[in-house]
């Protein structure tokens, strides 16, 4: 019986993964597992008034969520991203980048990746970015003779850059669950900048190499706008790049210069995105209602999962699950680097089955204090987690970026094309993660310098 009681936290994690894999709603699965194991703990008499203690710990956490000013930035950043997507920014951006890079092998794929990086630094909303690039870029790439694998892989990978390039929703959520002074939104944003840019450049290098090796699958692009004069091209480039640069300066610049907190900067971004849509003539009541509805749906999903995760965490700790995991790692008698590699491998595998939100709210709060006790820099660890979680959008069977693309792709693009196309980019992602592990200063230099 004592062994069974000690293993209850493990059964909680297994039960949660099972419920999610079977297709039950994540938020309700988390809450149901928490309540079920709270009742089991009460029935087994693990401690006096176990159920009351677990539920009491949960209810004490709810005011903390409600009063967390940082979380106000979530709907504001979501609103900013959706409004910017509705403004038609991506149309001009893709065409202009295609013209600028037309002489480079694999120019269309490189343009898509560059656009993904720019949109990531402007919006951070992965679903909207992937769908937008699929609708705009995929038919053009296929029309120019690009392979379906390279086209779909480049779009999916570029769309997920919003996970790591600030302002990123996942960085915001990671900061919200940390009680450590070293891990705040500003530090996470600056720590993620170099790894994010590095990943984008690695994606571009792969697209260039692929086009160089297989010119028939990524042929040179001919565009009608190729005869633009230098002056016309300059004006067109300024027009296409000004809106995302304005948002970057408004959001990240206000944080960098200490003018605004991250939450206030999110408000600045939401306002600027609305003004850009207005200037481009895309703002009307219908668009505003659509943006509000999308923002409400995503924000509600995040907060419902967060509340369920708080219930799960309260019961898990009442069952001494954090102590069980801490004891497990301590008894391994392994070097901290080996333990870090095991943790990264576990998170990578979880990404095959769970969304980044579930992993962020359930597993990271358990692992962060343990890794901190082992002497791992918490800011560096959070960046490693963010890079790792980016792969959860790309890895089947539940890679959401794959489904976003398939839902918006032409009928001739099948799911097996998408699966074959993303694996080189997943490998690049893991190489990038390894580089940040081997050279922590890739993440730590910029926040330390600033």
| End-to-end C-alpha distance for the chain, whole angstroms | 54
Please give the pLDDT value at position 128: 63
Per-residue pLDDT tens over the stretch 166-186: 877 788 888 877 776 677 888
Cα distance between residue 122 and residue 24, in whole Å: 33
Provide the residue ranges of all domains of the chain, joining segments of one domain with +: 70-302+403-423
* Eight-class DSSP state of 183: -
Cα distance between residue 22 and residue 85, in whole Å: 33
Please give the pLDDT value at position 198: 93
Q: Is the dihedral of CA 374, 197, 168, 342 positive or negative?
A: negative
Please give the pLDDT value at position 272: 85
Please give the pLDDT value at position 58: 61
- DSSP-derived secondary structure for 27-89: HHHHHHHHHHHHHHHHHHTSSTTHHHHHHHHHHHHHHHHHT-GGGGHHHHHHHHHHHHHHTTH
Please give the pLDDT value at position 355: 67
Instruction: Confirm if 432 and 386 have CB atoms less than 8 A apart.
Output: no
Cis before residue 397, ω within 30 degrees of 0?
yes
Q: Is the dihedral of CA 300, 302, 305, 307 positive or negative?
A: negative
What is the Rg, in whole angstroms, of the alpha carbon atoms belonging to the chain?
Answer: 23
- The two structure tokens encoding residue 345: 């491998």
Decide: helix, strand or coil at residue 353.
Answer: coil
Please give the pLDDT value at position 225: 44
Residues of the chain short of pLDDT 70, as ranges, are 1-5, 20-21, 23, 45-70, 88-92, 122-129, 180-181, 220-230, 322, 330, 353-355, 397-400, 407
Q: What is the average pLDDT value for the chain, to the nearest integer?
A: 78
Please give the pLDDT value at position 286: 87
Instruction: Confirm if 90 and 136 have CB atoms less than 8 A apart.
Output: yes
220 conformational bin, left if phi > 0, alpha if psi -120 to 50, beta if neither? beta
Instruction: Confirm if 127 and 389 have CB atoms less than 8 A apart.
Output: no
Please give the pLDDT value at position 67: 66
Please give the pLDDT value at position 381: 92
Q: Which of 231, 277, 243, 213 is nearest to 115 (CA)?
A: 243
Cα distance between residue 115 and residue 104, in whole Å: 16
Instruction: Find the helix packing angle between 441-449 and 378-390, rounded to 10°.
Output: 120
Cα distance between residue 7 and residue 324, in whole Å: 8
């Amino acid at each position: 019986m004592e062994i069974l009681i000690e293993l209850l936290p493990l059964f909680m994690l297994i039960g949660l993964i099972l419920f999610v894999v079977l297709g039950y709603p994540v938020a309700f699965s988390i809450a149901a597992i928490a309540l079920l194991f709270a009742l089991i703990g009460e029935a087994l008499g693990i401690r006096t008034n176990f159920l009351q203690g677990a539920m009491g710990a949960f209810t004490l956490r709810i005011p903390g969520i409600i009063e967390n000013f940082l979380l106000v930035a979530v709907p504001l950043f979501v609103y900013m991203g959706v409004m910017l997507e509705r403004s038609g920014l991506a149309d001009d951006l893709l065409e202009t980048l295609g013209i600028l890079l037309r002489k480079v092998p694999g120019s269309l794929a490189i343009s898509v990746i560059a656009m993904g990086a720019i949109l990531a630094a402007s919006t951070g909303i992965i679903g909207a970015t992937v769908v937008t690039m699929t609708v705009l870029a995929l038919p053009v790439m296929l029309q120019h003779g690009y392979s379906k694998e390279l086209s779909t892989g480049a779009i999916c990978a570029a769309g997920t850059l919003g996970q790591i390039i600030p302002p990123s929703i996942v960085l915001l959520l990671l900061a919200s669950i940390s009680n450590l002074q070293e891990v705040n939104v500003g530090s996470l944003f600056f720590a993620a900048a170099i790894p994010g840019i590095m990943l984008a450049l690695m994606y571009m290098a792969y697209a260039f190499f692929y086009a160089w090796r297989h010119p028939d699958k990524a042929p040179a692009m001919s565009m009608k706008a190729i005869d633009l004069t230098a002056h016309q091209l300059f004006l067109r480039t300024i027009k296409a790049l000004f809106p995302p640069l304005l948002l970057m300066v408004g959001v990240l610049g206000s944080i960098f210069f200490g003018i605004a907190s991250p939450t206030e900067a999110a408000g600045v971004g939401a306002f600027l995105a609305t003004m850009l849509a207005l200037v481009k003539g895309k703002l009307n009541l219908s668009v505003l209602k659509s943006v509000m509805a999308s923002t409400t749906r995503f924000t509600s999903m995040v907060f419902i999962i967060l509340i369920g995760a708080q219930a799960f965490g309260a019961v898990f700790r009442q069952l001494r699950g954090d102590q069980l995991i801490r004891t497990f790692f301590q008894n391994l008698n392994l070097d901290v680097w080996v333990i870090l590699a095991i943790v990264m491998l576990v998170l990578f595998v979880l990404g095959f089955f769970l969304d980044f939100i579930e992993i962020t709210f359930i597993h990271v709060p358990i692992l962060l204090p343990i890794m901190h006790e082992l002497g791992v820099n918490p800011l560096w660890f959070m960046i490693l987690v963010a890079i790792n979680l980016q792969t959860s959008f790309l890895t089947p069977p539940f890679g959401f970026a794959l489904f976003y693309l398939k839902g918006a792709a032409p009928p001739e693009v099948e799911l097996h094309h998408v699966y074959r196309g993303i694996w080189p980019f997943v490998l690049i992602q893991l190489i990038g993660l390894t580089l940040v592990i081997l050279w922590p200063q890739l993440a730590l230099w910029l926040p330390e310098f600033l």
